[in-house]
A and B are shown apart, each in its own frame.
Chain A
Amino acid sequence: TVGAVAVDSGGNVACATSTGGLSNKLIGRVGDTACIGSGGYADNHFGATSTTGHGESIMKVVLARLILYHMEQGMPPEVAADTALDYMKTRVGGLGGVIVVNKAGEWAARFSTKQMSWAAVEDDNLHYGIYAGE
């Protein structure tokens, strides 16, 4: 799965997510990616997020919208992402990763899996990583 979130100079946010799904999946299986609020969500009032990971778990907790809900409650992107990922892990045993940007341009790339490749550019500065802590 791949995804992107952005905020433009007008303060508008957007998200995009695309995937080939799960290896050897049943024909017709649709995961979280195409489901609004699960594979991604964007609302100028709060921010935008794109998700990746165990699709069935992501759908059960509606992960992308859950993160924005936490941001609506005042959490910064990193805390909102970790809180939602932790809920998914404890509630349904699912692992995954998310990228988040809020309407102020604060961002996070967080994951409960061992790895997630990610990159970000803000103010002409490039950041990237694969392992936790990078």
Chain B
Amino acid sequence: MKPVIVVHGGAGRIFKEQEEGCRAGVVRAALRGYSVLKQGGSAVDSVEEAVRSMEDDPHFNAGCGSVLNEKGEVEMDAIIMDGKNLDSGAVSAVKCIANPIKLARLVMEKTKHVLLTDHGAHLFAQATGVPEVPREKLITERSRERWKKNLEPDSNPEEFQKDLG
């Protein structure tokens, strides 16, 4: 069986000035995931590696570069699934974790559960030795500007995002 990996960096609007960074980011992620496969790594290892790469890339809405909620905070979700045995792990509303996909994988491998959220996910991260990062480290200037713009009285972020996915 020849290994294959496919990645996406989101279906939201990509402004012209962001295009090259997004192209480079998805190519880098795909190659990193493919490298895992070429070395005999599993599909699960491969997709985690690829997603971690994009979580660390501020061009994308995940990890560092995540958009902000109404309070100007980062709240991230992630899921991972192994097709071999239908094992799955997910986290939601996590705040100070650089790579939520890693935490999702730990949920899959270290618990009997499928999804941990918010405070429980935070406690689980602590218990499994996943380091916390300062929340500011996940916030980019672009995310902050977008958040501020959406708070303006005449803005309509829902309408703006409606046709963008």
Q: A16-B48, A18-B76, A130-B19 are in contact. Are A97 and B8 (CB under 8 A)?
A: yes
B151: Cβ under 8 A from any A Cβ: yes
Number of A-B pairs, beta carbon distance below 8 Å? 325
Contact with B along A90-134 (1 / 0, CB 8 A): 000011111111000101110111111111111100101010000
Q: A43-B83, A99-B7 are in contact. Are A30 and B77 (CB under 8 A)?
A: yes
Q: Are B47 and A5 in contact (CB under 8 A)?
A: yes
A80: Cβ under 8 A from any B Cβ: no
* Min distance, Cβ B57 to any Cβ of chain A, angstroms: 8
B1-59, CB < 8 A from A:
1-14, 19, 22-23, 25-27, 29-31, 33-34, 37, 40-44, 46-48, 50-51, 54-55
Q: Are B29 and A27 in contact (CB under 8 A)?
A: no
CA distance A100 to B71 in the complex (A): 35
Across-interface contacts of A4 in B (CB, < 8 A) = 5-8, 29-30, 33, 46-47, 50-51
Cβ contact of B83, chosen from A31, A42, A114, A123, cutoff 8 A: A42
Q: A34-B92, A130-B23 are in contact. Are A18 and B69 (CB under 8 A)?
A: no
Give the interface centre of B11, B50, B76 by most chain A CB atoms within 10 Å.
B11
Across-interface contacts of A123 in B (CB, < 8 A) = 2
By size class, the interface of chain A is 35 or more
Give the interface centre of B81, B92, B114 by most chain A CB atoms within 10 Å.
B81
Cβ contact of A15, chosen from B12, B47, B115, B150, cutoff 8 A: B47
Cβ contact of A7, chosen from B4, B8, B41, B81, cutoff 8 A: B4
B165: Cβ under 8 A from any A Cβ: yes
A24: Cβ under 8 A from any B Cβ: yes
Q: Are B93 and A28 in contact (CB under 8 A)?
A: yes
Q: Can you name 5 A-B residue pairings with CB atoms under 8 Å?
A: A16-B51, A50-B8, A97-B165, A119-B29, A126-B27
Please list the residues of chain B having a beta carbon within 8 angstroms of any beta carbon in chain A.
1-14, 19, 22-23, 25-27, 29-31, 33-34, 37, 40-44, 46-48, 50-51, 54-55, 60-63, 65-71, 73-84, 86, 88, 90-93, 100-101, 104, 114-115, 117-118, 143, 146-147, 150-151, 157, 161-165
**What 9 A-B pairs have minimum CB-CB distances, sorted nearest first?**
A20-B66, A53-B165, A97-B11, A42-B83, A113-B165, A117-B9, A14-B43, A13-B83, A2-B54
Known: A30-B92, A52-B12, A119-B6. 20 other contacts (CB 8 A): A6-B4, A6-B47, A9-B37, A14-B42, A18-B100, A20-B63, A21-B66, A26-B69, A28-B118, A30-B77, A34-B79, A36-B88, A36-B114, A43-B83, A44-B83, A96-B11, A99-B6, A113-B164, A121-B5, A128-B26
